């Protein structure tokens, strides 16, 4: 989730981290801009919860770890600090140098789309994620219908897109060797059109 920058000055990454650690509100950092993060809808939270549950159970006993929502990620080439909705990391965690609260090596990232973030998640944010060497797979989960856009890295600067529609389809997470049904992803989700307030944040 993301809103428009509300400050005029440019911050260094170090200044951002100092402010972020002391703040009760989460912010993203985008190439000098500090961006307050908006709250999510109940459906947004249900989907994240369902994904976390399915991934945690499905990856039990394997050298993979799942993180959700409040785990900070540093993307050095793009100069971005962000909080993906869901991350899975294979093997040992790699931290930003000098820190123990910021990771740098996701294998899989999942974002739950909202009216105010869908264009950014598909565009500039995905481009930033693609600069991460370990990043292999990206899923964009719609919260207004049973629909998932799924990207898998197939080679240098090559990504394959597959779309999944309907509760009876199954998302195949190639990098994790795991399948999750859309029925499980959307458990207890009550589909409704995007709220007017969300549209206003674009």
pLDDT 10s digits, 25-82: 889 999 999 988 877 899 999 999 999 999 999 999 999 999 998 899 999 999 999 9
Structure tokens at 24: 């009760």
Rg (CA), the chain: 16
Give yes or no for a contact between 50 and 185, defined as CB atoms under 8 angstroms apart. yes
Q: pTM value?
A: 0.90
Phi, psi of 102 (to 5 degrees): -135, 120
Taking the CA atoms of residue 57, residue 191, residue 46 and residue 119 in that order, the dihedral angle to the nearest 10 degrees is: 100
pLDDT digits (tens, 9 = 90+) for 144-192: 999 999 999 999 999 999 999 999 999 999 999 999 999 999 999 999 8
């Amino acid at each position: 989730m993301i809103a428009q920058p509300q400050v005029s000055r440019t911050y260094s990454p170090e200044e951002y981290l100092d402010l972020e650690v002391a703040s009760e509100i989460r912010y993203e950092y985008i190439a000098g801009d500090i961006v307050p993060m908006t709250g999510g809808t109940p459906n947004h939270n249900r989907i994240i919860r369902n994904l976390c549950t399915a991934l945690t159970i499905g990856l039990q006993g394997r050298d993979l770890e799942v993180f959700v929502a409040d785990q900070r990620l540093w993307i050095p080439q793009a100069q971005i600090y962000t909080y993906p909705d869901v991350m899975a990391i294979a093997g040992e965690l790699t931290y930003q140098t000098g820190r123990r609260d910021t990771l740098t090596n996701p294998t899989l990232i999942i974002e739950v789309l909202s009216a105010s973030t869908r264009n950014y998640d598909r565009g500039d944010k995905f481009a930033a994620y693609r600069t991460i060497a370990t990043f292999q797979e990206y899923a964009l989960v719609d919260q207004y219908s049973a629909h998932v856009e799924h990207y898998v890295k197939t080679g240098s600067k090559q990504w394959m897109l597959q779309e999944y529609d309907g509760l009876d389809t199954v998302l195949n997470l190639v990098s994790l060797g795991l399948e999750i049904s859309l029925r499980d992803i959307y458990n207890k989700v009550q589909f409704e059109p995007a709220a007017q307030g969300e549209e206003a944040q674009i």
